[in-house]
Homo-oligomer: A and B are copies of this chain.
Amino acid sequence: MKTTTDSPFDALEKIFHEPNRLAIMSALCAADGGVPFTDLKTSCRLTDGNLSRHLKVLEETGVIRVEKSFVKLRPRTTIHLTKTGFQRFNEYLAALTEVLEQARQATGTERSKSRLPAFGKLAPA
């Protein structure tokens, strides 16, 4: 067992690691443009309050932008991913990929029936 100086576990950005925020970010990345609040709520199966709280955290760190407008006199809230947000989320996914790879090597699941057959035959860490 060795000491790692730059553990991939440390690189998991906390802001994206929370499962609901991971779902929100994935939904935003999958969309072509901004996503209406109501669609995001349905897609991520969150309540108004929960979604609002997560969006506040994401907005404060600049990874999303919240746009408020009126459509036929009714207020509409649309969520946009920022360029920084997209970049940082991709960095998070790269770190998560590394962590998962390490864990799968540790459990030996890369040798058993796996949906990801190409984790390779790397020696356990």
- A residues with a Cβ closer than 8 A to B are 1-4, 7, 9-10, 12, 14, 17, 19-20, 22-23, 25-27, 29-31, 35, 39-40, 42-45, 86, 89-90, 93-94, 96-109, 115-119, 124-125
Q: How many copies, total?
A: 2
Once the chains are docked, how many angstroms separate the CA of A100 from the CA of B103?
A: 14
Contact across chains for B105 and A45 when beta carbons are under 8 A apart: no
A-B contact pairs, 26 of them (CB 8 A): A1-B27, A2-B43, A3-B42, A3-B45, A4-B43, A7-B23, A7-B45, A9-B20, A9-B23, A10-B19, A25-B103, A26-B103, A26-B107, A29-B103, A29-B106, A29-B107, A30-B124, A90-B107, A93-B103, A93-B107, A96-B100, A97-B104, A97-B115, A97-B116, A116-B118, A118-B118
